Every structure is written in structure tokens, then in C-alpha cells.
Amino acid sequence: MKRSLLFLPVLLSVSLLAYGQELPFRITHGPWLCDMTETGVTIVWMTNKNSLSWVEVAPDDGSHFYGKERPKYYDTHMGRKQAATNLHKVRIENLSPGTRYRYAVFSKEVLHWENDAKIIFGTTIANPAYSWNSLSFKTFSANDDTVSFIMLNDIHGRAEFMKDLCRDIDFSSIDLVIFNGDMSTWIISEEQIFSDFLDAAADLFAKRVPIVFTRGNHETRGPYADFLMNYFPVKDGKIYRIVHVGKVAFIILDCGEDKPDSDIEYSGLAAFDAYRDEQAEWLKQAVQHKSFRDAGNRIVVLHMPPGVSNWHGTLHLDETLLPVLNEARIDAVLSGHMHRYSYNPPVPGKTAFPVIVNSNNTYLRGDIINGTIRIRMFGAEGGKPTEHILD
Ligand SMILES: [Fe+2]
């Protein structure tokens, strides 16, 4: 009796499908914001079926979102609006710096694609933008004297812990949230990315505050690892990059694995020495760029802390990237990986800047006000945060 009851929902769904009554078309994840600049942002979301998707954007000017037709931005790639996908990535450009915009996402289901002249669409769904629930974002501005950010690392799939850790953060005062690696222990599937941390991020802040994502060593592992950055699109496709927020330049680096490429744990798939060499070559050029040299502050985001470990990955970072960073007037390197907090002051002849390691059980909050960097680490259990002021 019990056994037949257990099978009832399965039988019901099979029979519904048999009668053509499939699951209703819906938004399954997000939206979440990526790749924010002074004039652009990428809005990402997922639906349970393929669809033609777009974003409508309105200024935050007190008008009703539906007071007039709003400009539509589509998920386009090489001149074609994307419809054969259920992962939607809409890039919006030509926005004004330091400006808040409201937005709504729309997806029109593709029911049947016989040929390009005969595509049959179904229902259009949306994340509605009524005044009481409209989503919005604010573009970065070089004129901002204050930059506030949150950094999380080494969550290792503990989504509920992450929600608890972040429950008291007022994200309305936060410009960006940095995921500095090991948010997952490995990447097995698309669904796992959401259940590990991304659904929690969208619930907490990511519909309104952009994510800046870089990998830890763990996110380089797993059968789905090569697709991870599809969910955190960046314009030129490189994880390593410089993100300018206000007068602060964040150098985002991608550490690679911690053991030698030949280690048996990687089954011959690792080629991180060459990848770190590639980043070092890029970094040599990037730190010479006028926009970087003119920045008020320079902060490096790198999962594995340089200069504090004798594992191969760190030693190779020390050999390739550290000499460039030491000449680049860096204010601080923010890292994780060690699963415990440490403050590593500059070491003459080795590191020209402090390396601050956030633990796996705290979030790091950075506030840069007129050039002074205040770094604090907060735990889920409350209490006085660990604090560093860097002038
Ligand atoms: Fe970790």
C-alpha cells in the first residue's frame, strides 16, 4: 500500500506528460546581475524551456514602469537574437554612470521551430515591474568617493549557511559582491551551481547588486566546470580582468589549482602553469594602463593568497604574478582558501602589500572612503568584527 502511494506522483506526472500537459513555462532561476560597468550591465536568468528573451529598462524617475513602452534589449549573439536556449544573458550598454534603472525580464516560449520562417511561440512570462516589486540596479560611477563591497569565499555549497551569514547585511549600501572562489566544492551540473550558492545569491542581493565572480581551485574541478562562466558572463570572456568601481581598481585573478598540474587528482586535465603564465603576461600590460595607474586605490582579488604557502599553485603564483603585483602599488590582496582568517603584513623583499585572508565562516566587508580602505570580517554569530584600516 505504502509503495503504491509513493509511486502515485510519478505516475501522475507521466500521465500528464502523456496527455501533453507539460510543466508550465516559468522562470526557474534569477535574474542576477553580472559585469557591471559605468555604462553597462549583463542581466542573466533561466527558464525551464527555450525562449526568446529580452529586458525592458526604465529610468528610476518616479514614472510608472508601464506608463509607456520601454526600450527592449535582447539576448543577442553575433547578430542573432537567441531563442534556442533557456539560459538568457542580456547585455545592456549606453547607460549613464552612477544612475539607477528599473528593469523587468521577459521570455517568450519557443513551442516549435520548423524553420526560421515558421517558429511558433507560446506564452510570454515576465518578472513584473510594478512599483512595489520592481527590480533595479545602479551603474558604477568614477565620481563616487565611496565604494562598499562584500566578499564571500569558501562557502563550498553551504547555501543555507550563506543566507544566515548575510541575513543582516543592508545590500542597498553595497556596490558589488565578490565571490572569491570555492563557492562550490566541484562543478557537477548546472543545477548544483544554483543549489550551492547562486539561488541564495539571487534571493539575497543579486537581482539588484552585481556579482563579480572568480574561481577558487575547487571550481576548476568536475564534469561541468568548463561551463561555469556561462553563468557569470564577462564581455571579453576572461575571468581575469580589472573592474573599476568609483576610484577603485579591482584586479580579479584566477588562481588555478593548488597542486602540480601532473597530480593524479587532475587525471591529466590540468594546464594551470601555462594559464598563470598567460595571466602574468596580461597583468604586465594591464597595470601600465592609464586607467589603472590613475586609480585612487588598487585591490587584488585572488582566491589563493600569495606568499603564504609552499604548495605548488601558490609558489607558481609567487613566481609569475607576485613580481608584477609588487611593482603595481597594490593596497591589499584579498584572499580565501585557507579556511581561517589571517592578516599577513607586507614582507620586505617578498610582498609589497598586506594579504588579508577571509575565513570560510565570515564575510568580508570593504568600505573605501576618500582613499582610506576599511576592511571588516563579520561572522554569522555576530560579535565584534575583525577590522583593518589601510591608509
Ligand atoms: Fe576552500
Q: Shortest CA distance to 368 belongs to which of 211, 206, 176? A: 176
State the chain's mean pLDDT as an integer: 92
More confident residue, 277 or 383: 277
Cis peptide, bond prior to residue 31, ω within 30 of zero: yes
CA of 264 to the centre of ligand 1 (A): 19
Predicted confidence band of residue 129 (pLDDT cuts 50, 70, 90): low
CA of 46 to the centre of ligand 1 (A): 27
Instruction: Check residue 7 and give its pLDDT.
Output: 43
What's the topology of domain 146-390?
Purple Acid Phosphatase; chain A, domain 2 (3.60.21)
**What is the per-residue DSSP string for 53-71?**
EEEEEEESSSS-GGGSPPP
CA of 308 to the centre of ligand 1 (A): 15
| Helical residues (DSSP H) of 218-298, grouped into ranges | 272-286, 290-293
**Mean pLDDT for the stretch of residues 154-179:** 97
pLDDT value at 110 more than 60: yes
pLDDT value at 133 more than 90: no
List strand residue ranges (DSSP E) for 305-354, in order.
332-335, 342-344
CA of 149 to the centre of ligand 1 (A): 21
Predicted confidence band of residue 332 (pLDDT cuts 50, 70, 90): very high
Could you give the residue range(s) of every CATH 2.60.40.10 domain in the chain? Answer: 27-138
More confident residue, 388 or 344: 344
The residues, ordered by sequence, that sit 6+ positions from 104 with a Cβ below 8 Å of its Cβ are 55, 56, 65, 126, 127, 128, 129, 134, 135
Q: What is the pLDDT of residues 61-109, one digit of tens each?
A: 988 888 899 999 999 999 999 999 999 999 999 999 999 999 999 999 9
CA distance 330 to 73: 38
Could you give the residue range(s) of every CATH 3.60.21.10 domain in the chain? Answer: 146-390
**Mean pLDDT for the stretch of residues 323-332:** 98
Q: What is the pLDDT of residues 281-312, one digit of tens each?
A: 999 999 999 999 999 999 999 999 998 888 99
Q: Which helix (H) or strand (E) holds 211?
A: strand 211-214
Q: What is the pLDDT of residues 15-26, one digit of tens each?
A: 444 445 678 999
CB-count exposure of residue 115 (10 Å: 0-12, 13-18, 19+): exposed
**Mean pLDDT for the stretch of residues 169-187:** 97
CA of 303 to the centre of ligand 1 (A): 9
pLDDT value at 6 more than 50: no
pLDDT value at 11 more than 80: no
Predicted confidence band of residue 9 (pLDDT cuts 50, 70, 90): very low
CA of 154 to the centre of ligand 1 (A): 4
CA of 45 to the centre of ligand 1 (A): 27
CA of 337 to the centre of ligand 1 (A): 5
Q: How would CATH label the architecture of 27-138?
A: Sandwich (2.60)
